[in-house]
Amino acid sequence: MNLVTVSTDAIRIGFPLPFSLRDAGGVLLAPKGYVVRTQADLEQVILQRGQLFVDVAESEAHRRAYVNQLRELVQDNIPLGQIAESQFSSFEMASARGKDNDGEPDWLALQEQAHAMLRDKNPTSFLKRLDELQRQLNRHAQRNPDGTLFALTYLTSSELRMYSATHAMLVALMCSLAAREVLKWPEGQETTLCKAALTMNLGMTELQDRLAQQKEPPNPEQRRQVEQHAIRSVVMLEQLGVTNQAWLESVLDHHSKTPGPLLPRTLGQRMARLIQRADLFAACLAPRAARLPATPAMAMQACYFDENREIDEAGAALVKTMGIYSPGSFVRLSTNELAVVIRRGANTTAPRVAIVVNRSGMPTVDFIVRDTRLPEFKIVASVPHREVKVKINLERMLALSKPVASDKSW
């Protein structure tokens, strides 16, 4: 490890770190993505541990992203004086880091991009960031839909630091896949749907992040903001240059509880219903400081039935898309092995899984893939994420989630 000092001016209060912070001995003080909440917190760490350091490998990646962002601004003919006054956040650097990257997705970078986009008040950069994020999500979903579902479902279930961003991406992905694979919507409608889902909570992004980590119930003012966030989101989108009426209508109505078939509705209302069902699923799945998450199977059941306890058309499309046991969720097999779902199956109840804890209760080193269609490996229960004590290597699991050309039945 080659350590270099980092200026405290490079650490933005309230935003995820673009690199891990270490002390002079290389001891990790804060991981990449950690949010330093207040200036007092930062000063306390410096007082206790002295000068802050980063690994040179992370520092170099950070420098390259910064240079790329500068180059992009120059190419966009931004005045040099404005560039000199710019304060580039870790989110902007993450966007540069992930842009036009045809390799494996950097999920932290995508979280940071979404996090930045949802806080951008500039119409030009907001729409540009939104287009880029939607393009990347679509590319990853086309190449490896199960791996993309795995990553976002797992992140939604396991961390709160960028809840609003991760939640928006998971809802957008679910809606896009359901529109494409089940409802057979045209590509243009799917794109608009994805952007609407990504921006549905624009009017309460910061509040949503706070509430995810707040142990107390929402106070009256917070409840008021939650109740008004849909109309506020529409107003903000219009100010940011969005004119697509179906997009705006779907954001306005995405919390409307209107059971019934999709066909008689306007396009915006159909989008709103699909977003509402996916939003419900993802919200059930996510942990909160004040409550525990539901299992994916329970979350799916919640969106499958409508307000009249009848099968919901939009919810059914999502269940058919995701499966009862979605990628990234944990299950127990009839062998008493604990497994994580890595790929959706030919039917909603029989996904492909990888064993993470064997029947003796010991974590596995080499992941064994099971076919849950076979009676001896059938799923007997959904397992809450909080009950799984094994740390999952996301990179290894995403490699297992890729389509296998030799197995056409999956």
Decide if pLDDT at 85 tops 90. Answer: no
Q: Give the tens place of pLDDT for each residue, 240-279.
A: 999 999 999 999 999 999 999 999 999 999 999 999 999 9
Decide if pLDDT at 213 tops 90. Answer: no
Q: Specify whether the backbone of 184 is left (phi greater than 0), alpha (psi in -120 to 50) or beta.
A: left
Q: Give the tens place of pLDDT for each residue, 324-365.
A: 888 998 999 999 999 999 999 888 889 999 999 999 999 988
More confident of the two residues 402 and 48: 402
DSSP for 179-194?
HHHTS---HHHHHHHH
Decide if pLDDT at 201 tops 70. Answer: yes
- Any idea what DSSP says for residue 308? T
Domain limits, the chain: 1-99, 103-322, 330-400
Q: Does domain 103-322 have CATH number 1.10.3210.10?
A: yes
Q: Give the tens place of pLDDT for each residue, 168-191.
A: 999 999 999 999 999 999 999 999
Q: What is the mean pLDDT of the chain?
A: 83
Residue 17 is predicted with a pLDDT of: 78
- Any idea what DSSP says for residue 388? -
What span, in angstroms and rounded, lies between the C-alpha atoms of 317 and 181? Answer: 9
